[in-house]
Structure 1
């Protein structure tokens, strides 16, 4: 079962618009050295929405090559067109990835039956395990617990990333799936509570910035040391909030740039650099955490 702290990895880019391969390789090494339990390549934080398919596939291959099997790599394969998601899945299945993260189709607002058919078709297109990804704040459509229960019967659908931030959904889902169905929080602000209430891991934006602390928090929670897990998380409450004062991944990229972990904070349009007030806010937090020096 997938478990622990999986980093929703940013995709570094140069000012020219090209993928910054050197920074990407350095990030992968840093996350492995910091104890991250896995990487999610080209999900929302990796700017999947604005990478063309060939680049999407290339970045996943690069991350797999850099990781060299040392930690699991899960590839984002979501699309609002089922055929596109299947194509991406089959192309990326040629690499040594460990599974897929598949987001609820966005913009077209499919019915629950449509979402079930969509995910079943993607899961049947390869032999690799697939995590469902429910983030209604971005997709508008909300994958209901009853639909998750139905999808969990598929042999290749092995878990869920729940980014609703609603902890009641965790109890509801646990009641209708097997114990080996991996339940991940996709909401950093409530991720620690999610683990302490029986979740198996986090797919985390915050882990881009403090991978070791996030890994240690997950280890503590999974070992039932909830006091330690909450103590570690308390240090990050402000960071969890400030990384989302502008749409993800604007703030994580700026933070990594200020920390010297990436060469440039560039994003693909229509995403742009953070406002000056947002820059100052995250820089103050990074300084407070000892991650940069004024």
Structure 2
């Protein structure tokens, strides 16, 4: 069996921004400390939720470097290194390795819509550019291309391709992949609403958006299952289902960033072309957050003024 990168819940971390749209590295440090305190099993830096498509190469590498320095080996730091340009993805892989990442996350090439052979050659080239373990990221709804089980099997035969983040939602396909690849490819859920279903097929955890705000609870969904209490795991999954749905009412990471601001985290907005939720959906999101006790009062659509935001941990809090 190839070595596990992590087991449990890895947080697909947002990238905090200042009011003028620059990366807020101080808040990044605070968020990382919060994640570690609250039992996150790993963090993904510069992934989809981290708005990687809007980062310059310099920002991308600096973000990874600063995250690695702050985490200091306490949990794995997984760096997004994907691109639809194979040469660029290979270069990013090497740069993220130099920056100290523990592993890489490689999304399928988007827009190009490569063939299965093209996907194999792309990921093989990326793997040859680094000694780090690689997690493949399959998210057809965003990229327009799907990794087939037979292609997963071929890719699993490459030594440092060790895992996949499966966000296809196709459980027949996931089961077939698990059957073909066995211990040569660790499967992680890429869907917060389907964690327990993926665990039942042998997944070793989730790469999660939910855990930006509830890292310990997301960890517990996984570890209740691992510890033999499937009923507790299922109940936690169902308990947070409405919140998960709220975090995907709009394009990720728009809702999670808006939720975090409402909770008192100074994470800023998204970079264009992503923008804040429309007022009607924002009100729905805030109502969900209130129902879970994550915010108390005073949050209104069109405003990020927070009154009596619920304290969710020891993270440094700011007034926004």
Q: State whether structure 2 residue 259 is matched by structure 1 residue 270.
A: no
Query: Where do 5+ consecutive residues of structure 1 fail to align?
Result: none
String of CA shifts for 1:38-92, please: whole Å, max 9, x gaps.
0000110000111111111111111111111100010000000000001111111
Hey, what does 1:46 align to over in structure 2?
50
Deviation, structure 1 residue 32: 0.4
Please provide the CA RMSD for this pair.
1.0
Hey, what does 1:76 align to over in structure 2?
80
Hey, what does 1:164 align to over in structure 2?
168
Hey, what does 1:143 align to over in structure 2?
147
Q: Report the Cα distance in structure 2 between the residues aligned to 1:218 and 1:89, rounded to whole angstroms.
A: 29
Which of 171-180 and 139-148 deviates more?
Answer: 171-180
Q: Report the Cα distance in structure 2 between the residues aligned to 1:141 and 1:58, rounded to whole angstroms.
A: 30
Among 289, 294, 310, the residue aligned to 1:291? 294
Deviation, structure 1 residue 265: 3.0
SS at match of 2:187: strand
Q: Report the Cα distance in structure 1 between the residues aligned to 2:227 and 2:90, rounded to whole angstroms.
A: 37
TM-score by length of 2: 0.89
1:194-213 superposed matches below 5 A: 194-213=198-217
Structure index of larger Rg? 2
Deviation, structure 1 residue 290: 1.3
Q: Report the Cα distance in structure 2 between the residues aligned to 1:206 and 1:198, rounded to whole angstroms.
A: 21
Q: Report the Cα distance in structure 1 between the residues aligned to 2:267 and 2:44, rounded to whole angstroms.
A: 21
Q: Report the Cα distance in structure 2 between the residues aligned to 1:170 and 1:200, rounded to whole angstroms.
A: 13
After the TM superposition, list the runs of 4 or more consecutive aligned residues in structure 1 that deviate by more than 3 angstroms: none
Hey, what does 1:229 align to over in structure 2?
233
Between 1 and 2, higher relative CO (CA 8 Å, sep ≥ 6) is seen in 1
TM-score by length of 1: 0.97
Query: Where do 5+ consecutive residues of structure 2 fail to align?
Result: 298-320
String of CA shifts for 1:2-47, please: whole Å, max 9, x gaps.
2210001000001111101121111100110000100000110000
Deviation, structure 1 residue 231: 1.1
Q: State whether structure 2 residue 29 is matched by structure 1 residue 36.
A: no
Hey, what does 1:64 align to over in structure 2?
68
Q: Report the Cα distance in structure 2 between the residues aligned to 1:155 and 1:105, rounded to whole angstroms.
A: 21
Hey, what does 2:301 align to over in structure 1?
none
